[in-house]
Amino acid sequence: MAVIFVLSVMGCGVAVPTKAEIKVVRSQDMTIDDNNIVSMAPRRLLEEITKELKSRYKNIEIVDGLLFRDTAFPEGGWRLKDLFVPEVRRRVNEQLDLDYLALVGAIETSHGEEKGFMVPGLLGALSVEGASTITAIIIDLRTGELVSRIVSEARGTAYIFNYIIIIAANEPQIESGTAESLANEIGKVITELAKSGKTRLAVLAIEDMGTLNNVTEEKKVEPLSEEQLLYETETLNILLEKTESGEPESQ
């Protein structure tokens, strides 16, 4: 009781991390878009995955991502499709002796509806469900084949309890959980492919050029086809004729 009293006076918030429910799926359903580029932009995510791989899979040697990018794309551009050019792969193999490339997609996080009640400044109990997904593809740089696609998903529910100015909450580790399980699955796939032998892997990100999840993209205005142009012109002409003749419909 004394503790609650002290906390009430001081004001206190505590968030306890909890484990998330993890689901990992492998598939062969893979497509490469012309806009896909190989990137080092999500530094923290790449570091987390690399760290996880290094700690769990001693048979996998991680090659520096920036070194890979600069070796594979000395002229820049960093377009993923260029990696499938045999000459590019040969250069990477000769200079880095690299076997596999794991390309990690953007982390996608969403949350559900808030459930519960809250009387501001007095009492409350709320819950909200969250989910986080990351996709990765693995490329065999010796053969130039897309080997596997891995989708890692983590789900969890956050609960928030409030009593006057004390707030206690749990924080499901959905983002770190999904990154960790993705790294683990990448490690498993690479180990299976390498048949438990030593192998070299680079981990980078795959992303679309010029888009951030929170940035509204400008809509591109597509040029009209000849047929559409003819139709639009005819419609305009009809409307103009009606306007000149004073028909109310055209107003």
Partner 1 sequence: MQGDIKYSFVASECHMFNILRLTIFVNRLGMFAAVVLLNSCYVGPGSLSALSIGADPHVYKLYPGEVLAESEIVRINMADAYYLIIDDYKVARPDYQQVLVLPGEHVIRWGKEFMISVMVDSSMFREGEGRAVVDLIAGHTYELYADRTTGQGYSMFFWIQDAESGEVIAGTKKP
| Cα–Cα distance list, 106 to 102, 177, 197 (Å) | 13, 15, 30
- Dihedral sign for Cα atoms in the order 37, 38, 40, 46: positive
Under 8 Å between Cβ of 158 and 17: no
Q: Which is nearer to partner 1, 99 or 181 (CB)?
A: 181
Which of 4, 6, 14, 25 binds partner 1 (CB under 8 A)? It is 14
106 lies in the binding site for partner 1 (CB under 8 A): yes
Rounded least distance, CB 200 to partner 1, Å: 22
Q: How far is the CB of 121 from partner 1 (least distance, A)?
A: 6
Residue 109 within binding range of partner 1, rule CB under 8 A:
yes
Buried b (16+ CB within 10 A) or exposed e, 79-103: bbebbeeeebbeebeeebebbbbbb
Beta strands 199-208; 36-39: pairing state: antiparallel
- Positions in 155-214 near partner 1 (CB under 8 A): 158, 160, 162, 165, 167, 169, 171, 173, 175-176, 179, 205, 207, 209-214
Helix (H) / strand (E) containing 186: helix 174-193
Q: Which residues bind partner 1 (CB under 8 A)?
A: 10-17, 37, 39-45, 47-48, 66, 70, 73-78, 106-114, 118, 120-121, 124, 126, 128-129, 131, 158, 160, 162, 165, 167, 169, 171, 173, 175-176, 179, 205, 207, 209-215
